[in-house]
Amino acid sequence: MTTAADLTWWQKTIAYEVYPKSFLDTRGQGTGTIAGITSKLDYLASLGVGAIWITPFYKSPMVDNGYDVQDYYQIDPSFGTMEDMDELIARGREKGIRVVMDLVFNHTSEECAWFKESRKSRANAYADWYIWSDAKPDGSEPTNWRSIFGGSAWAWCEERQQYYLHTFAPQQPDLNWENPAVRKALFDVANFWADKGAGGFRIDAITYIKKPAVFADGPADGEDGMYAVHAATANTPGILDFLHEFKAAVRDGRDIFMVGEANGVAADELGDWVGTNGVFDLLFEFSHTHIPMGEAEIWCKPAQWKLTDLKRVLTASQKATATNGWYPAFFENHDQPRSTVNFFRCEGSTAAKAKALGTVLLMQRGTPFLYQGEELGYSNRVWGSIDEFDDLQTRSQYEFALTEGFTPEQALAACNRFSRDNARTPMQWDASAHAGFTTGTPWLPVHADYAEVNVEAESADPDSVLNWYRRLAELRLSRDELLAGSYEELMADSEQIYAYRRAGETSTAVMLANLSDEAATYDAALVEGLELLAGTHGATEVGTLRPLEAVVFATK
């Protein structure tokens, strides 16, 4: 049986995602800086964090907040300098926190030198670095694929008299991985950052890198007559060959981890992607975020769901990585609404929801990935009009809802519920102006609850969400069964309680969380012989959980 001694550093730590634009501004410019992250390393260490995944900070026109990379070898001046980055990596290492970089390798910015060359003509050194295609005989787009951010996935280029493919925005042209020179250029980028001391990589949108051999129209899936590019290109056979090459060129022989962002990979396919024969150490798959949002990710048509639906997919992912590979447990990231809204269908205080769900997250098997603000108990912001949003996907989801016949009010409600900007409002450090995030004007409004929901106030309150997260982190990192023990779901049919057992070699823990706003009961035998290790509501009556109460029982 596995014990904590068998695990690597990244299997027995807690990871934390930083969205740098919204983390901490040290210059009064309204957007966050790398120096801001460095200044908060002690805060992150207080949460047991050993790895920070930072979303892209490379030079970029920022059409998609850095996911449109202009130059992989430069830091965007809005975030700071290469010296700031070196400093962050070095100070982080001193404190036991490694920096995980985001590699955006499916596409670049249209401002990238490679694309600027490629678009000039059909015959130049970079001509074949992107996905170019002739128009249909009538001059229209090569296929009816809809990009993920809305509208056609093809954009016209006057110079070449051809279309190029963009899975995301038109300013994000897709790279041609079939070209070995492209693959080498990308692997060189990864090796440059690994040599600099990166502790790992998160690989963006990786399921889209392989395109089908033939580009063909798909059946219309919306009133616009288009077909989602995801359905046409995600996870195309042959993709794993590219990724094995990537692993051999970058990962092998280094003490780093690679986590792929793999929308479109199902739990039963995980064995090809992670573990002994896989290509990554960990894989972000989205089966659980699809439960409230629906697999098609059309915000105005959310799914109907029950707690058992959510538990079923989380347990399936646990089973798929039980003996092979490792699971990155997460409920939030910069593309998701806040989990206190997303994964609850009941009333109740945001703080109580945050504590209950935090318990589910931090007691799971795998490496937990927290997202900034989650540890404070953030909720979605109330957005009064579409003009308040910055995110390009939110705007396209709004337009799409209107074309589907929804009213402006309904479209706005869908954006309030699912917008990525809910995750991107500034980090709340204290109760001063703009929550201590900036002395300038924040690029996105600060959430109205910042006077209570902030690091300073919550640090001083023993009952805060933040101190609950700290307590859970301490337990997790100090107990063998919580790090290395198996996962067995209990009470799988309950629509109120999420429960599981973590069994280690010599100790056991049982986590029970009532995710409803009504009292719930469980069989006391489940925790027989164990003692209460931690409870959101303090002392607890065995066999009963109050609304939104979560408890952890364990061997003494």
Interatomic CA distance for residues 194 and 198, integer angstroms: 5
Q: The tokens of 400 are what?
A: 């799409």
Q: Tell me how far, at minimum, the Cβ of 391 lies from ligand NOJ, in Å.
A: 9
Cβ nearer to ligand NOJ, comparing 110 with 204: 204
Distances in Å between the Cα of 335 and the Cα atoms of 10, 128, 276, 480, 543 are 23, 31, 30, 32, 37
Report whether 555 contacts 530 (CB < 8 A): yes
Question: What is residue 326's DSSP assignment?
Answer: B
Q: Tell me how far, at minimum, the Cβ of 304 lies from ligand NOJ, in Å.
A: 26
Interatomic CA distance for residues 275 and 281, integer angstroms: 6
Q: Tell me how far, at minimum, the Cβ of 419 lies from ligand NOJ, in Å.
A: 12
User: CB within 8 A of 386, min separation 6: which ones?
Assistant: 394, 395, 398, 408, 411, 412, 415
Report whether 60 contacts 15 (CB < 8 A): no
Q: What is the largest CA-CA distance in the chain?
A: 75
Is position 174 annotated as part of the catalytic site? no
Q: Tell me how far, at minimum, the Cβ of 205 lies from ligand NOJ, in Å.
A: 4
- Of the candidates 141, 174, 204, 391, the residue annotated as catalytic is 204
Cβ nearer to ligand NOJ, comparing 204 with 549: 204
User: CB within 8 A of 451, min separation 6: which ones?
Assistant: 431, 457
Cβ nearer to ligand NOJ, comparing 203 with 310: 203
Interatomic CA distance for residues 19 and 175, integer angstroms: 25
Report whether 147 contacts 153 (CB < 8 A): yes
| Position with the least CB separation from ligand NOJ | 67
Residues 41-47: contacts with CB within 8 Å, 24+ apart? 41/91, 41/92, 41/95, 41/97, 42/95, 43/455, 44/16, 44/97, 45/95, 45/96, 45/97, 46/470, 47/14, 47/16, 47/370, 47/375, 47/469, 47/470, 47/473
Is position 204 annotated as part of the catalytic site? yes
Residue that is written with structure tokens 């051809």 in the block: 162
- Of the candidates 261, 297, 391, 549, the residue annotated as catalytic is 261
Cβ nearer to ligand NOJ, comparing 204 with 281: 204
Torsion angle, CA of 263/323/479/475, rounded to 10 degrees? 20
Q: Tell me how far, at minimum, the Cβ of 150 lies from ligand NOJ, in Å.
A: 12
Helices (H), 54-137: 82-94, 113-118
Q: The tokens of 287 are what?
A: 């089966």
Question: What is residue 124's DSSP assignment?
Answer: S
Cβ nearer to ligand NOJ, comparing 103 with 550: 103
Q: Which residues bind ligand NOJ (CB under 6 A)?
A: 64, 67, 104, 168, 204-205, 261, 334-335
Crossing angle of the two packed helices 180-196 and 82-94, in degrees rounded to 10: 60
Interatomic CA distance for residues 324 and 270, integer angstroms: 9
Closest CA to 254 of 79, 106, 147, 100: 100
Q: The tokens of 427 are what?
A: 């980090």
Q: Tell me how far, at minimum, the Cβ of 43 lies from ligand NOJ, in Å.
A: 24
Report whether 338 contacts 332 (CB < 8 A): yes
Helices (H), 279-391: 290-293, 307-320, 339-342, 350-362
Residues assigned a catalytic role? 204, 261
